[in-house]
Amino acid sequence: MDIQQVLELIHSEVLPFVPKGKVASYIPALATVPPNRLAICVHTNEGVVYSVGDVSIPFSIQSISKVFGFTLAYKILGGDIWKRLGKEPSGNSFNSLVQLEHEQGIPRNPFINAGALVISDMLLSLYPNPQQVLLDFVRRMANEPSINYNYDVAKSEKGAGARNAALAYFMKSFGNIQNSVEDVLDFYFLQCSLEMSTLCLSKSFQYLANHGVVPSTSEQILTISQAKRISALMITSGLYNESGDFAYRVGMPAKSGVGGGIVAVIPKKLSICVWSPPLNEFGNSLVGIEALERFTSYTGVSIF
């Protein structure tokens, strides 16, 4: 079977799993998303696109946006970024306060909420208008100028964001947040509200699937070394406390979001995005993981 046939087979096989998950409800604006949405899209580094399902419908990418924010900060700061962040899996929930106290305000990695808040703080210091810089970057990577923030989702997240505020103020007490906590939170919530389609998300991760270089334009976003390290962080920490099981079952660097999206890459080969809103107990798309496991099994392609 070619990739298109594989995607069509996977689409039919994973549909029965949809009722087994639950759409995120702790962010009110996400609770109304239809649970039966399902989309899979693959972009190869040679420029071929394969897709099935609702690939053109935008959705809230949530924590997937952390990869974009980290890329922009890492690109400028390089190894200095690790003075305020760790590189290890957390072993705790993505919004845990316990570990932060033990480790004196240094988040375990950039993909848990505390780590992403530190990255937001860095971007506020690096750019006069980081909100526009991030949006421009994502639009360029996806080659889609219509991508935008969803301000209603951002407002909804802020209203339900007491735990994130606690994380930010706690890190501020250790000196690891340097800007106004309110400014950091507003930028973080706005970043998470980015809306993109499965088609755009798959394309936007091609720079990571091609060792830091956008295949279609040859624009170098990161060095080979930096791209390798982001992929390493994705495979160890990209799916929260399910990262180890995901690596075992799927074998791809990936990042998930509570909007139901998962984006993964196979370096030098392809990027793939799956969207299905119902989540499992770890906050990851239940159907997305089933689909990606089948993709690497049926194609025989993974990083292992």
Positions annotated as catalytic residues are 63, 66, 188, 240, 258
8 Å CB contact between 58 and 216: no
195 burial via Cβ count (<10 Å: 0-12, 13-18, 19+): middle
Question: 232 to each of 88, 238, 249, 266, 282, how far by Cα in Å?
Answer: 10, 9, 16, 12, 20
Separation of alpha carbons 272 and 301, rounded Å: 12
Element of type H or E holding 102: helix 98-102
66 CB-side CA count, 13 A: 30
Give just the sign of the alpha carbon dihedral 148, 150, 60, 186.
Answer: positive
Q: H helices then E strands: how many in the chain? A: 13, 8
Beta strands in 153-299 (DSSP E): 194-196, 254-256, 261-266, 270-275
Sign of the torsion formed by the C-alpha atoms of 108, 114, 117 and 121: negative
Is residue 280 left, alpha or beta, with left meaning phi > 0 and alpha meaning psi from -120 to 50?
beta
